[in-house]
Amino acid sequence: MKFAKVVIDQDAKAIDREFEYIIPEELDVKLGERVNVPFGSRVLQGFVVGESDTSSYDEHKLKSILSTVDGFPVIKKEMLALMNYMAEKLHLKLASILRLFLPSEMRTGKVKELLVRYCELEDNFENPSKNAKKQMEIVEYLKEKKREKFSELSTQFGYAPLSALVKKNVIKVSFEEVKRQIDYDHISGEKKHLTDLQQRAVDTISENKTYLLHGVTGSGKTEVYMNLIERELKKGKTALMLVPEISLTPQVLANFKARFGEAVALIHSGLSAGERFDEWRRIFFGEAKVVVGARSAIFTPLENLGIIIIDEEHEQSYISESNPRYDTHDIALFRRKYNDCILVLGSATPSIESYTKALDGEYTLVEMPVRVNGMEMPKIIIIDMLEELRHGNSEIFSIPLLAELGNVVEKKKQAMIFINRRGFSSFQRCRDCGYVAKCKDCDVSLVYHRYENKLKCHYCGKRYKALDICPSCGSHNIKQGAVGTERVVEELKKFFPDVAIFRMDNDTTSTKGAHRSILSQFREVKPAILVGTQMIAKGHDFEDVILVGIIDADQSLYQADYRSIERTFQLITQVSGRAGRSKDQGKVILQTYSPRHYVYRFAQNYDFKGFFKKEANLRKVTNFPPYTKVLRILFSHEDENIVAKEIKVCYNKVQKVKEKYPDDFIYLDVMKSPLNRIKTKYRYQILMRFKLEKADEIEKEIYNCVDEKCKSSVFYEINPNNLS
Ligand code: ADP
Ligand code: ZN
Ligand code: ZN
C-alpha cells in the first residue's frame, strides 16, 4: 500500500501540518499534486507533499484520497524543498507557503483555460430545409471555409439558426485552447555593442555564485542582464529577472519581448487574472524560458534555472509585509543554491546589508561607476527652503526651481517633478484646535483626496466625507496638510499655462494601461513636465528630461525607522538618475528644510562609498542591522483584552530567553503598535534586538514562545521595513 502526506489547503493554524492518507490503487497520485480528501465530515483540497510505502499510523484508521484536482503535480520538487525551508526559517504556515506557488486563480477555480468554440460540418450531415434560409447560408459558408469560430458565425448569421444546426447534428463543435495575449509595445530589440565596463561585468559574472552589481544610474545594467540571460539560454537554461513592481515599466517589457520574443513570460499585478493564469502555465510547462516579474515571480516554477537577477535589489518592495512575510533575497539565495546557478543583485544604491556582504566576501562585487554615454552625473543643487521662507517665498516651488523650469520650457525639453506622497494633501487639520480626522477602524490619519473631495484611509480603504466644520470645536478654519501631486500640478499650471503637464500617481494609474498611456503621451510632447510619486523615480529612460525637481526631500528622512536615512539617499540617487540620460547634462533641484544633513552631502557628490561608510559605522555603534537582528512579533485580534493577555504570556517566555542569553540581547520590550488598530483589529507587538553570533539559536527559542493555540493572529518579522 502507498501513503501520501497531505497539507490541507485551509487557513487554520490548528490543522496546518501533514496528514496521512492512503493512495487508492486505482488512483495515480504524484508528489506535488492537488487532491480532494475527506476531512472530518467535509471534503477539502490539499497538496501531496510526501509519499511513502509505510505509515506511522494504524492503517485501518487512515482515510483514502478521493480524487486528484489537476491531473498533474502543480508543486514541483524544488518548491517542496522551498516549502520546508520557509517553514523552518520563517516560521510560516505550510498552507500559506504552498499558496504562494500557484496563481490564486487556480486555487479558487474561478479562472479556466480560455477555450474557443469552433464549428465544422459533420461528415454526413443532412442539408437543412430550404425554408431555413439562414441555416443554409451557414452551411454554404462552412463548406467554403471548413472551420470557423462559433462567435463569428453567431454574429454573422444569428445565434438561433446556428444553435439549431448544432442541435440537428449538422454542425459539430470543438474546443481549442488559446492563450490570452498580453499587450506590450513592439519595438526593435537590436543588441547594443557593449561598453568595456559592460563587457567586463558580463565576463566576470560567470560562476555559480552571488554577485552584487553596483552600477550608477545610466550605466547600462539592463543590457548586462540581457547578455547574461542570453548566455544562459544558449546553454539551454532558463532565467528569472525580478524588478520592483513600479519599475516594471512598459519600456522594460517591450525591451525583453523584443529581445527574447515568445520565450518571455511576465508576472505582475497589472495582469488580469486570466493573463496571470496563462503566463503561469506557460512557465510551468516550459514554454517560457525567461520570466520577468515583480516580487511574487520569485516563486514561479521555472526549471533548470541558469540565472536569477534582482534589479534594484535595495528596494523595500522585495520584502513582503503582509502574510506570509518573506524577503525575496532569502528565497533567491535558496533557489540559487538549489539550482547551483548565478544570482545577480543589481543597484545604483545597494542596501547597506548587501554591500556589507560584498565587502565581507560573501558576494562578489562588480562595479560600473560611469554612465554608458560617458555623460557626467546630473548636478544636484540643494535649496534651503527655510532661506526661501526668510526671503518671503512660502510657495511650493523655490525661485531656482522656477527659473530652471522656465529654462526647460524655453529649450523645449522635459522636466520631472518628484513628490513623496500621493493625493492632494495628506490630511485635513483644524487650525484652531489641531483636530485631525482619523479612521474609525484604524489608528491613522485619513488622507484627503481633493479630486473626489473625500477622506480615505490608506490602510483599510474606508472613505469618509471631507471636513468643512471641525467636529471637535466647530471651527470652519480647516487646513489642508502637506503638498501632493494634484496641488503641484495646479500650482505649475499657474506659472506655465501653456505647457503640457502630466500627473502620475496611484490615483491616475489605477486603471489598466493608464501607466503606459501617461508615459507614452509624455514621451511625445516637448516641452512637458511630469509630476509624480515614487512611480516616476525608477527605471524610466527619457532622453529629453534635463531637469528633476524634488519637492520635499525630507519626507522620508524623519520616520521612526533605522533605515530612513538610507532610503532617502537611495531615493535621491534614483530620482536624480532620471535626468540627463542622453546628450544634455541633467540638473537636479533638491528642496529641503534640513540642507546640512549629511545624507544630502553624500547624495550631492554621488558618493555611495562615503555614505556607506558613515551609515554602516552609525549602525555598528548604535547596534542596528546588519550588525544585529531586529525581530518583531505582532499579535492582532478584534478583542483588545485577548491580544493584551496573550502577548503578555508570550512576552514572559521571551524574557526567559533573554535571561538565558543576557549578553546577546540589546533590547526587548512589549507595547501597543504605533498603528494600534487596523481593520477593526487591535495590534500589540514585542520588539527585540539581539547580536548575530547566536541569532539562529535565539530565534528558534523565540518561535517556541508563542502558544500555537492562541486566538490572536501572530506575525514574525525580521528587520521589518516599518514598525507601524
Ligand atoms: P541603468 O539600469 O544602469 O540605469 P539602463 O540599463 O537604463 O541603465 O541604460 C541606460 C541607457 O543606455 C538606456 O537607454 C540603454 O538603452 C542605453 N545603453 C545601454 N547599454 C548601451 C550600449 N552598450 N551602447 C549604447 N547605449 C546603451
Ligand atoms: Zn477644531
Ligand atoms: Zn481604516
> At residue 425, does pLDDT exceed 50?
no
With 0-12 CB in 10 A as exposed, 13-18 as middle and 19+ as buried, what is 582?
Answer: middle
Domains of the chain: total: 6
Q: Are residues 205 and 340 in the same domain?
A: yes
Q: What is the pLDDT of residue 72?
A: 85
CATH number of the domain where residue 580 is located: 3.40.50.300
Q: Are residues 418 and 347 in the same domain?
A: no
Is residue 192 in a domain?
A: no
Q: Which residues pair with 345 in a beta bridge?
A: 212, 310
CA atoms within 13 A on the CB side of 521: 13
Q: Kindly report the protein residue whose alpha carbon is nearest to atom 18 of ligand 1.
A: 220
Q: Kindly report the protein residue whose alpha carbon is nearest to atom 10 of ligand 1.
A: 218
User: Torsion-angle region of residue 676: left (phi > 0), alpha (psi -120 to 50) or beta?
Assistant: alpha
What is the model's pTM?
Answer: 0.82
Query: Among 502, 496, 541, 536, which Cα is nearest to 404's?
Result: 496
Ligand 3 centroid–CA 314 distance in Å is 29
Ligand 2 centroid–CA 442 distance in Å is 21
Q: What is the pLDDT of residue 543?
A: 87
User: Which domain-ending residue is among 597, 619, 641?
Assistant: 619
Q: Which of 90-104, 321-335, 639-653 reaches the highest mean pLDDT?
A: 639-653
* pLDDT tens, residue by residue, 82-93: 999 999 888 888
Going through 203-313 in order, the beta strands assigned E by DSSP cover 210-215, 238-242, 264-267, 290-293, 305-311
217 lines ligand 1 (CB under 6 A): yes
CATH number of the domain where residue 102 is located: 3.40.1440.60
Query: Among 478, 468, 403, which Cα is nearest to 435's?
Result: 478
> At residue 183, does pLDDT exceed 80?
no
Q: Are residues 467 and 448 in the same domain?
A: yes
Q: What is the pLDDT of residue 531?
A: 94
> At residue 209, does pLDDT exceed 50?
yes
Query: Among 92, 98, 101, 89, which Cα is nearest to 299's?
Result: 101
CA distance 229 to 238: 8
Could you tell me where the DSSP H helices lie in 525-639? 564-576, 598-604, 608-621
Q: What is the pLDDT of residue 149?
A: 87
Q: Which of 200-209, 265-274, 461-470 reaches the highest mean pLDDT?
A: 200-209
Q: Which of 64-73, 643-652, 667-676 reaches the highest mean pLDDT?
A: 643-652
- Give percent of the chain with pLDDT exceeding 70: 94
Q: What is the pLDDT of residue 106?
A: 75
Q: Residue 444: what residue type? A: V
Q: What is the pLDDT of residue 376?
A: 86
541 lines ligand 1 (CB under 6 A): yes
Average pLDDT rounded to a whole number, residues 372-394: 85
Q: Could you identify the residue written with the cell 481593520?
A: 679
Q: Are residues 517 and 638 in the same domain?
A: no
Average pLDDT rounded to a whole number, residues 366-378: 90
Q: What is the pLDDT of residue 32?
A: 95
Between residues 16 and 582, which one has the greater pLDDT? 16
Q: Could you identify the residue written with the cell 510526501?
A: 50
Q: Are residues 144 and 261 in the same domain?
A: no
198 lines ligand 1 (CB under 6 A): yes
The residues, any chain, with a CB within 8 Å of residue 263's CB and separated by 6 or more, are: 233, 288, 289, 290
570 lines ligand 1 (CB under 6 A): no
Q: Are residues 653 and 517 in the same domain?
A: no
Q: Which of 170-179, 254-263, 288-297, 485-494 reaches the highest mean pLDDT?
A: 288-297
Average pLDDT rounded to a whole number, residues 341-358: 97
Place 582 in a pLDDT band, splitting at 50, 70 and 90: confident
Q: What is the pLDDT of residue 174?
A: 83
370 lines ligand 1 (CB under 6 A): no
Using most ligand atoms within 8 A of CB, pick from 221, 223, 349, 371 the residue to mutate for ligand 1.
223
> At residue 722, does pLDDT exceed 80?
no
* pLDDT tens, residue by residue, 96-112: 999 999 887 777 666 66
Ligand 2 centroid–CA 674 distance in Å is 24
Between residues 105 and 339, which one has the greater pLDDT? 339
Is residue 188 in a domain?
A: no
Is residue 6 in a domain?
A: yes
Is residue 496 in a domain?
A: yes
Using most ligand atoms within 8 A of CB, pick from 195, 243, 249, 372 the residue to mutate for ligand 1.
372
> Where is 84: in which H helix or E strand?
helix 77-90
Q: Are residues 542 and 398 in the same domain?
A: yes
With 0-12 CB in 10 A as exposed, 13-18 as middle and 19+ as buried, what is 640?
Answer: middle
Is residue 184 in a domain?
A: no
Q: Are residues 473 and 439 in the same domain?
A: yes
Q: What is the pLDDT of residue 459?
A: 63
Identify the sign of the CA torsion 513, 247, 294, 625. negative
Between residues 79 and 254, which one has the greater pLDDT? 79
CA distance 203 to 205: 6
220 lines ligand 1 (CB under 6 A): yes
> At residue 267, does pLDDT exceed 50?
yes
* pLDDT tens, residue by residue, 538-578: 667 788 999 999 987 776 665 556 787 898 899 899 889 88
Between residues 719 and 363, which one has the greater pLDDT? 363
Is residue 538 in a domain?
A: yes
Place 245 in a pLDDT band, splitting at 50, 70 and 90: confident
**Mapping DSSP to helix (H, G, I), strand (E, B) and coil, where does residue 400 land?**
helix
Q: Are residues 406 and 535 in the same domain?
A: yes
Ligand 1 centroid–CA 579 distance in Å is 14
Average pLDDT rounded to a whole number, residues 286-315: 95
> At residue 450, does pLDDT exceed 50?
yes
Query: Among 520, 523, 454, which Cα is nearest to 486's?
Result: 454
C-alpha cell at 182: 498580453
Least confident of 81-90, 122-131, 466-475, 496-505: 122-131
Between residues 424 and 593, which one has the greater pLDDT? 593
Neighbours of 596 (CB within 10 A): 9
Place 129 in a pLDDT band, splitting at 50, 70 and 90: confident
> At residue 360, does pLDDT exceed 90?
yes
Q: What is the pLDDT of residue 397?
A: 93
Q: Which residues pair with 238 in a beta bridge?
A: 305
> At residue 422, does pLDDT exceed 50?
no
> At residue 604, does pLDDT exceed 90?
yes
Average pLDDT in the chain: 88
CA distance 44 to 668: 42
Average pLDDT rounded to a whole number, residues 37-63: 90
In degrees, rounded to 5, the angle at the alpha carbon of residue 591 between the alpha carbons of residues 510 and 504 is: 15
User: Which domain-ending residue is among 594, 619, 644?
Assistant: 619
Q: What is the DSSP letter of 53?
A: S
Q: Are residues 127 and 53 in the same domain?
A: no
372 lines ligand 1 (CB under 6 A): yes
Average pLDDT rounded to a whole number, residues 502-517: 81
CA distance 691 to 620: 11
User: Which domain-ending residue is among 133, 149, 177?
Assistant: 177
Q: What is the pLDDT of residue 443?
A: 65
Q: Could you identify the residue written with the cell 487596523?
A: 678
Place 242 in a pLDDT band, splitting at 50, 70 and 90: very high
The residues, any chain, with a CB within 8 Å of residue 477's CB and separated by 6 or more, are: 430, 431, 432, 470
Is residue 82 in a domain?
A: yes
Domain that holds residue 20: 2-107
Identify the sign of the CA torsion 188, 193, 199, 203. positive
Q: Are residues 78 and 94 in the same domain?
A: yes
Place 64 in a pLDDT band, splitting at 50, 70 and 90: very high
Q: What is the pLDDT of residue 299?
A: 96
Average pLDDT rounded to a whole number, residues 151-165: 86
> At residue 499, does pLDDT exceed 90?
yes
Is residue 189 in a domain?
A: no
Atom of ligand 1 at shortest range from CA of 311:
2
Q: Kindly report the protein residue whose alpha carbon is nearest to atom 25 of ligand 1.
A: 192
Identify the sign of the CA torsion 701, 705, 709, 714. negative
Q: Are residues 405 and 515 in the same domain?
A: yes
Atom of ligand 1 at shortest range from CA of 194:
23
- Give percent of the chain with pLDDT exceeding 90: 52
Ligand 3 centroid–CA 444 distance in Å is 7
